[in-house]
Amino acid sequence: MVKNMIIGQSGGPTAVINSSLAGAIEYGLQSEKIGTIYGMVHGIEGLLEDNVMSLSAIFRNLPYELNRLKHSPAMFLGSCRYKLSGSEEEYKKVFERFEQYGIGYFIYIGGNDSMDTVKKLSDYAEKTGSDIRIVGIPKTIDNDLVGIDHSPGFGSAAKYIAACVREVAYDTSIYSIKSVHIIEAMGRDAGWLAASSVLARQDDMPAPHLVYLPEVPFSVGRFVNDVKEKLSEYNSVIVVVSEGIRDGDGNYISAAEDKGDDQFGHARLSGTGAYLKTVVEKEIGCKVRALEPSVLQRSAGHIVSLCDVSEAFNLGSVAVRAAEEGKSGVFSTLRRTSNKPYCVEYGTEDVSVVANREKTVPVDWITPEGNDVTQEMVTYLKPLIRGTTQTPFRGGLPDYIDIRHLDIKMQKYSDE
């Protein structure tokens, strides 16, 4: 029996969430069990507000647009940070929408908070005897999802950070004066992104000279000594820090902390690098700059990893196939079966494995000094940034797809 599918995106952006969306749409368009493919605009929140559009109508006859979607960063459908309250009333409203649109398959792309939504909805479906299949597709630049070898979105952000370090290293190497550059990578509790900066060390390039992750306590005093030591050997020292580094008592090393807009109660950090800049100025006194690539590291669609784009696309297809095969309460995942050559195997995993949990860097992948990572980490990271994609350019700039340029009437966007 043919049923319709609805798909949404949630949480923070990455460069390849739309690749997963493209993979899911492509599989869905070819499936004989799936009718219309709908998109929730602004995730589950959009669904509740009946902000729904037909993706089949756009992409059925436009393979070029589907390819653009695959290579466009951020979220075509818009996002939300809405946490289901768990109230019967709200569940009923969601499932009424499902009935309204003839939905048999619900697909949700997001991080561990979004997998919580997948878990709640699939539990409710099971409890109420609904046969709607509810499946997640993982994403996060932080690489902190459990139940998967590495998260889609991470490889591209890792590539961006490593490329930044290389380019800053080239930029700073031109003078013979002493200088320190501190690059702040995203990662509240997991240091994977900061760690990936070490991939910049191709050939004899020593940058980054120091790398600090949130998994081990950070000491400002030891940091000053580390920098001094590296300055005695190198003119230009490049330091990479996770935004979430903390001292021995668990206090963030950060100029400012802001509990602004995150409904899940996560602190938004910024200024870790800026704070350490003032420390270097005061304690060492050489030229120092703090760089915070900020949102650029998660949305730089022009320098994504081909490995990442392909895997994100495949995880999209795998999730829809799993739903079609009757699975529910699972997310699509991948397992690394070999490093040389790099191979992965796709499958699904129960969503309770991933929801509301975080995978941090194993402490034995961090050097005893706490200022670098081990060879195991390098071996793990290396394949994930490989390959360049054919991002379409027009007029000299990346030619990303934008929901607002497609001729569709939509409540939310037409308000803008």
Q: Is 265 in the site for a second copy (CB under 8 A)?
A: no
Quick one: which segment of 53-61, 74-82, 89-97, 220-228 binds a second copy (CB under 8 A)?
74-82
Q: 């069990």: which residue's tokens? A: 33
Q: Is 58 in the site for a second copy (CB under 8 A)?
A: no
Q: Which is nearer to a second copy, 171 or 345 (CB)?
A: 171
Quick one: which segment of 111-119, 125-133, 214-222, 392-400 binds a second copy (CB under 8 A)?
392-400
Helices within 257-305 (DSSP H only): 272-283, 296-299
Among 57, 84, 146, 163, binds a second copy (CB under 8 A): 163
In one-letter notation, the amino acid at residue 320 is V
Q: Which of residues 353-382 bind a second copy (CB under 8 A)?
A: 382
Q: Is 62 in the site for a second copy (CB under 8 A)?
A: no
* Bridge-based pairing state of the strands 287-291 and 179-185: parallel
Q: Is 67 in the site for a second copy (CB under 8 A)?
A: no
Count of residues in contact with a second copy, rule CB under 8 A: 73
Among 172, 197, 317, 348, binds a second copy (CB under 8 A): 172
DSSP per position, 44-66: HHHHHTT-EEEHHHHHTT-HHHH
- The answer to whether 26 and 317 have CB atoms below 8 angstroms apart is yes
In one-letter notation, the amino acid at residue 255 is A
| Backbone dihedral region for residue 187 (phi beyond 0: left; psi -120 to 50: alpha; all else: beta) | left
φ, ψ (nearest 5 deg) of residue 187: 135, 95
Indicate the DSSP class of residue 373.
Answer: B
Exactly one of 116, 142, 226, 372 is catalytic; which is it?
142
Q: Which of residues 188-227 bind a second copy (CB under 8 A)?
A: 199-200, 202-205
Q: Which residues contact 111 (CB under 8 A, 6 or more apart)?
A: 10, 11, 12, 138, 139, 140, 142, 144, 145, 151
Residue 144 is a catalytic residue = no
Q: Which of residues 291-330 bind a second copy (CB under 8 A)?
A: 291-296, 298-303, 305, 307
The C-alpha angle with vertex 308 and arms to 71 and 206, in degrees rounded to 5, equals 115
CA distance 24 to 19: 9
Among 61, 127, 177, 326, binds a second copy (CB under 8 A): 177
Q: Is 42 in the site for a second copy (CB under 8 A)?
A: yes
The token pair that represents 412 in the structure block: 């939310």
Quick one: which segment of 61-69, 97-105, 311-319, 385-393 binds a second copy (CB under 8 A)?
385-393
Among 24, 168, 315, 323, binds a second copy (CB under 8 A): 168
Q: Closest distance between a second copy and the C-beta of residue 398, in Å?
A: 6
Q: Which is nearer to a second copy, 55 or 162 (CB)?
A: 162
- The answer to whether 171 and 278 have CB atoms below 8 angstroms apart is no
In one-letter notation, the amino acid at residue 170 is Y
Q: Which of residues 100-139 bind a second copy (CB under 8 A)?
A: none
Q: Closest distance between a second copy and the C-beta of residue 20, in Å?
A: 15
Q: Which of residues 270-289 bind a second copy (CB under 8 A)?
A: 270, 287, 289
Quick one: which segment of 24-32, 104-112, 169-177, 184-192 binds a second copy (CB under 8 A)?
169-177
Q: Which of residues 81-100 bind a second copy (CB under 8 A)?
A: 81
| E strand intervals along 83-222 | 103-110, 133-138, 179-185, 210-212
Mark 272-300 as b/e (b = at least 16 C-beta within 10 Å): bbbbbbebbeeebebebebbbbeeebbbb
Among 71, 119, 133, 166, binds a second copy (CB under 8 A): 166
Quick one: which segment of 99-107, 231-239, 313-321, 342-350 binds a second copy (CB under 8 A)?
231-239
Among 64, 170, 264, 342, binds a second copy (CB under 8 A): 170
Task: Kindly list the catalytic residues.
Answer: 142
